[in-house]
Amino acid sequence: MSSSEVENLIIIGGGPAGYTAALYAARAELDPLVFEGFQWGGQLQNTTEVENYPGFPEGIMGPEMMTRFREQAERFGTRFVSDDVDRVELSDGGIQKVYLGDEEHRAKAVILAMGAEPKRLGIPGEMELMGRGVSTCGVCDGAFFKDRSTMVIGGGDSAMEDAVFISKFASDLDLVHRRNEFRASKIMQERAESLPNIELKTPYVPEEFVAGEDGSLATVKLRCVDTDQVEDVPVDGAFIAIGHIPLSDIVKGQVDTDDEGYVITDPASTKTNLAGVFAVGDLVDHTYRQAITAAGSGCKGALDAEWYLRDADL
Ligand code: NDP
């Protein structure tokens, strides 16, 4: 099945990057079509208070912010499809094809804004106990562990943020990291360290999540990196916060990606190695990964696409 119309621009992704690209493209009268995903809103959909997005001095809840981003893009005529793209056929300067099942959508340009998802540890019990004591989203699941023992694994800002949030509910929290030095920013680390029910446990790595008789998480086997000794730590909830992987599977092999799977763009723009294909947001960003940087990158993507559509002989 194929829609006969060739769109100017298809945007794949419904986070800050995709919606900002849509806003700029819609105001440029490109009439963009956004495949925002079934769970539109991206990672901010799983966030509570956002305090560092300029223009919101009192802070704003993540899902509300994404609703506003979406509404602003819609105000200028953006069309949305709340479904996940199954595959794409990208072309170097030709017609770009995007598929939902066998439903084909064609466009002169495409902006890739699929974002990233949480990394996993790859240890026994992790997937089996996901949702039964093991979680990758502290702000989503932290409140389930009121007056319970918890653990956060990771040493970056995400781990600190999760620990501070979960400690509001939990009786106690072990912050487990594989090195003695933390990657997190000083302010976030200090905030976590200052809380009386958070204990830093370094250098330790989890080896296994073990279920209790009721089938949910009861123990984490932790190995001390210095001594190699393994200890059983009883916990009710364990939160994995060890970074993210870019959601580039549908474009891998078609557009250039790096060793970690991030889409490679021209350093000064959002252009990929294929003419008419642009990439923005966490899909290309190893480093900053903020709503504001993703939004800024989405804006650049829309402008790059607009200039491409103006100048290319399509
Ligand atoms: P990071 O990549 O910064 O940190 C990941 C952490 O997990 C590292 O400490 C790493 O250890 C550890 N880790 C990775 N793999 C494993 C593994 N297999 N086993 C055990 N530990 C592992 O990711 P974050 O998600 O924390 O942050 C990403 C970016 O987002 C950063 O730029 C951060 O500043 C930003 N951010 C900002 C926030 C804010 O300002 N409010 C909130 C959250 C994130 P090691 O250090 O040894 O490599």
Please check the confidence at residue 3 and state whether its pLDDT lies above 70: no
Instruction: Of 14-18, 82-86, 144-148, 287-291, give the lowest mean pLDDT range.
Output: 287-291
Tokens of 286: 């190893």
Residue 150 in this model has a pLDDT that exceeds 70: yes
Name the 3-class secondary structure at 132.
Answer: coil
Residue 184, token pair as written in the block: 């997190």
Q: Which atom of ligand 1 is nearest to the CA of 205?
A: 20
DSSP, collapsed to helix, strand or coil, labels residue 296 as helix
Question: Would you call 195 exposed, middle or buried from its count of C-beta atoms within 10 A (0-12, 13-18, 19+)?
Answer: middle
Contact by Cβ (8 Å): 304, 298: no
As given in the structure block, the two tokens for residue 201 are: 């446990």
Cα separation of 14 and 23, whole Å?
12
pLDDT digits (tens, 9 = 90+) for 231-290: 999 999 999 999 889 999 999 999 999 999 999 999 999 999 999 999 999 999 987 888
Predicted confidence at residue 94, as pLDDT, reads: 97
- pTM metric for this prediction: 0.77
Interval 99-112 mean pLDDT = 98
The pLDDT value given to residue 51? 81
Q: How many CA atoms lie within 13 A of 17 on its CB side?
A: 28
Q: Which residue has its alpha carbon closest to ligand 1 atom 7?
A: 242
Label residue 41 left, alpha or beta by phi (over 0 means left) and psi (-120 to 50 means alpha): left
Q: Does the CB atom of residue 289 touch ligand 1 within 6 A?
A: yes
Among 60, 183, 202, the mutation site with the greatest number of ligand 1 atoms within 8 A of its Cβ is 183
- In this prediction, residue 1 carries a pLDDT of 63
Rounded distance between C-alpha atoms, residue 40 and residue 63, angstroms: 10
Q: What is the pLDDT averaged over residues 97-121?
A: 96
| CA within 13 Å, CB half, 243 | 13
Quick one: which H or E segment has residue 104?
strand 103-112
* Residues in contact with 261: Cβ distance below 8 Å, sequence separation at least 6, in sequence order: 245, 246, 248, 249, 252
Q: How many CB atoms lie within 10 A of CB 53?
A: 16
Each residue's pLDDT tens digit, 160-205: 999 999 999 999 999 999 999 999 999 999 999 999 999 999 999 9
Q: Is ligand 1 within 6 A of the CB of residue 158? A: yes
State the average pLDDT for the chain: 95
205 pocket-lining for ligand 1 (C-beta < 6 Å): yes
Report, as an integer, the average pLDDT of 104-121.
96
Residue 266 is given by DSSP the state: -
Separation of 244 CA from ligand 1 center, angstroms?
8
Question: What digits encode the pLDDT tens for the residues 113-134?
Answer: 999 988 999 999 999 998 899 9
From CA 40, how far away is CA 81, in angstroms rounded? 10
pLDDT digits (tens, 9 = 90+) for 4-54: 699 999 999 999 999 999 999 999 999 999 999 998 998 888 677 788 899
Residue 2 has pLDDT above 70, yes or no: no
The enclosing H or E element of 70 equals: helix 62-75
Whether 140 has a pLDDT exceeding 80, the answer reads no
Residues 128 and 126: their CA atoms lie apart, in Å, by 6
Q: Is a pLDDT exceeding 90 seen at residue 311?
A: yes
Burial class (CB in 10 A: 0-12, 13-18, 19+), 138: buried
Under 8 Å between Cβ of 118 and 159: no
Confidence of residue 86 (pLDDT cuts 50, 70, 90): very high
